[in-house]
């Protein structure tokens, strides 16, 4: 019983540390996106609401970041307290360059395929001048255990991401968008 209790305590502590770290990363990315939107003189779009789909966050009123000027999610409760727009990240209901910046927070890893992320990445760059992302890392236990995480996504540079399937064939793709908002290449 003692070893089980210690193990359970270790998992709980790890989860708390992971939550604090995720909030810090999301908060830092939010502040950077907010600065970029202000400098551009256009609104900030947040894709992936500050509450996420976590009942724990709603229960205690804990957000990972503010909701921006406009918040898009597939779950209305995720954007509580923000100007909410339901939407699909692959087909955002906004005009080209409408936003100075977009923060995409913990959304891309939930997508079903490399192709979906590629479409979403191009779409984020279509609607905003600057794209910021908050993503779980491979070192986070909760990221490994989350049943809704289908992909590993890592930002590799300005406009560039690496996408990797977590299951199945474990395909990989490197995607980059040019400053002209054109998808440059997908290397698999």
Q: Where are the domains of the chain?
A: 2-148
Topology of 2-148 in CATH?
A: Rossmann fold (3.40.50)
Are the beta carbons of 78 and 52 closer than 8 angstroms? yes
186: tokens are 């997908």
Angle at 121 between CA 167 and CA 85, to 5 degrees: 105
> pLDDT digits over 125-147, tens only?
999 999 999 888 777 777 777 77
Three-state secondary-structure class, residue 100: strand
> pLDDT digits over 24-58, tens only?
556 688 889 999 999 999 999 999 876 555 555 55
Are the beta carbons of 37 and 101 closer than 8 angstroms? yes
Rounded CA-CA distance 69/151 in Å is: 28
Rounded CA-CA distance 124/142 in Å is: 26
Helix, strand, coil tally for the chain in percent (to 5):
40, 25, 35
More confident residue, 182 or 127: 127
Q: Of 8-12, 34-38, 88-92, where does mean pLDDT reach its minimum?
A: 8-12
């Amino acid at each position: 019983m003692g070893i089980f209790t210690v193990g359970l305590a270790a998992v709980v502590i790890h989860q708390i540390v992971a939550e604090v770290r995720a909030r810090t990363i999301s908060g830092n990315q939010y502040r950077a996106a907010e600065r970029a939107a202000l400098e551009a003189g256009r609104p900030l779009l947040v894709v992936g609401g500050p509450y996420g789909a976590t009942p724990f966050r709603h229960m205690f009123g804990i957000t990972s970041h503010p909701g921006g000027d406009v918040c898009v999610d597939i779950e209305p409760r995720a954007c509580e307290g923000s100007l909410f727009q339901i939407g699909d990240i692959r087909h955002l209901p906004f005009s080209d360059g409408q936003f100075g910046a977009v923060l995409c927070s913990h959304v891309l890893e939930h997508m079903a395929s490399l192709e979906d992320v590629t479409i979403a990445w191009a779409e984020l760059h279509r609607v905003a001048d600057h794209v910021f992302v908050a993503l779980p890392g491979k070192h986070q236990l909760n990221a490994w255990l989350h049943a809704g995480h289908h992909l590993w996504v890592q930002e590799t540079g300005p406009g560039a991401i690496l996408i990797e399937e977590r299951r199945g064939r474990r395909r990989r793709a490197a995607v980059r968008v040019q400053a002209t908002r054109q998808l440059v290449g997908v290397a698999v």
